[in-house]
Copies of this chain bind each other. A is one copy, B any other.
Amino acid sequence: MEQGPRGGSRPAEPGPCLSSPRGGEQAALVPLLSAAGAEPGSRMLAVAAVLPAGGCGERMGVPTPKQFCPVLERPLISYTLQAMERACWIKDIIVVVTGENMEAMENIIKKYKHKRISLVEAGVTRHRSIFNGLKALADNQPNSRLSKPEVVIIHDAVRPFFEEDILLKVVTAAKEHGCSDYDLEFGTECLQLALKYCHIKAKLVEGSPDLWKVTYKRDLYAAESIIKERISQEICIVMDTKENEEHISHLLEEVLKTELNHIHVRSQALYNAGSDIQHINLEQCYNFVCVNVKEPDFQETQKLMSMLEESNFSILYSIVVVSVHFLDFKLSSPSQKMESLMCIREFAKKMKKRKILLYGLIINYSQDEQKLQESLRQGAIIIAALIKERNSALIGQLLVA
């Protein structure tokens, strides 16, 4: 067997794992691999991450290995990479995959534009795979863009939910602490194993319930719901700025704020949207309500769609756009409006290819204040449902509130 980066005779099993050693409490056991030679106290640590992703996911009950299972049409591992990338202080991210999944993994990195990723081929066991990842970091080959790190985070590819501050805690602990007697006595056997076989300084770091592992099919369901909830937290209302039209848009904004009180609703004028859309992206907004009041019917929505299409914002998550149209049902039947809006169907089909989900919504702009409020409320409920479900089967439909 080849020598690992620490020169030990056997590779470690340092994968962060969430267990419940104390009766299911929220304690996470996060053993660490602290590379030899790291200088305690230094500020700018060289940190890398190794993500073992060679598993076959037999407990999932599906033929696809769980790390490649789609969650909202994107492979699970891409979410883990996305979370890892957010920590800009991690210099290199090594993903360890089996030879047969190498090409699929390359395609995922390309499609979702992941950065700082290197691929390494898995070994026959998880231990060997981690060893291969560490070896790639330790090898100081002239052509390698990888540099030897001081601390390496080992993180399961099937734990997509974690916060940067947990990673930072783990890295800090790896740097600063030794393996305390208390942890050895009252922690779990993993710490002792790490010491016995790898002479590695391990430290128990308190985790969070977020740090769970996708193991069973039900975990995929949970992951999907969590992600849907996360990307539904913000709605941007796009409108033009004419006085009388602003009135309608702002009424809708107020009702949305009241009805969806857990969601952040804000409005944006479209006329200078070039810079605004950029701003929206930075705050990770994936939900737009576009108010159309001018003729022709779809002008505002089409403007927004062109911008979204150009922006490539929908690479990681689908974007929901609800095109809102007001009409006094007493003066004119919603079906007449529908007639003029039928083109939304073809438009929506085209947009779906760019992961932009377009729906139409006609709201009764009644002169009766109470009826208007009821329609706006109903509209808000429909908008919330469309955003929450992100159902691509219903794109291009014209809904009525």
Contacts and interface: CB of A to CB of B under 8 A. Distances in A.
Interface in A208-229: 209, 212, 215-216, 218-219, 221-226
A248 to B, nearest CB: 21
A399 B397 contact: yes
Nearest to A161: B218
Nearest to A329: B342
A388 to B, nearest CB: 8
A26 interface: yes
Greatest chain B CB density within 10 A among A224, A381, A399 is at A399
A162 to B, nearest CB: 14
Contacts of A225: 218, 221-222, 224-225
Contact of A218 (B222, B333, B334, B335): B222
A339 B335 contact: yes
A382 interface: yes
A391 interface: yes
A256 to B, nearest CB: 14
Contacts of A209: 59, 216, 218
A394 interface: yes
Q: How many chain copies does the complex carry? A: 2
A56 interface: no
B400 A393 contact: no
A305 B26 CA distance: 48
Interface in A353-401: 381-382, 384-385, 389, 391, 393-394, 397-400
A24 B334 CA distance: 56
B339 A215 contact: no
A338 interface: yes
A144 interface: no
A143 interface: no
Contact of A394 (B212, B219, B222, B382): B382
Nearest to A397: B399
A339 B345 contact: no
Contact of A338 (B59, B215, B338, B384): B338
A258 to B, nearest CB: 16
Interface string A32-50: 0000000000000000000
A336 interface: yes
B384 A393 contact: yes
A215 B222 CA distance: 12
A338 B345 CA distance: 16
Interface in A7-65: 24, 26, 59
A339 B221 CA distance: 39
A226 B215 contact: no
Nearest to A338: B335
B400 A394 contact: no
Contacts of A219: 222
A101 to B, nearest CB: 22
Given A24-B215, A209-B218, A218-B222, 11 more contacts: A26-B59, A212-B216, A212-B218, A218-B225, A222-B222, A224-B225, A334-B342, A382-B394, A385-B393, A394-B399, A398-B400
Task: For the complex of A and B, list the 10 residue pairs with the smallest distance between their C-beta atoms, beginning with the closest.
Answer: A221-B225, A385-B393, A218-B222, A335-B339, A222-B222, A335-B335, A335-B338, A221-B222, A381-B393, A397-B399
17 contacts: A26-B59, A209-B216, A209-B218, A212-B218, A218-B225, A221-B221, A221-B222, A221-B224, A221-B225, A222-B222, A333-B342, A335-B335, A335-B336, A385-B391, A385-B394, A389-B389, A397-B397
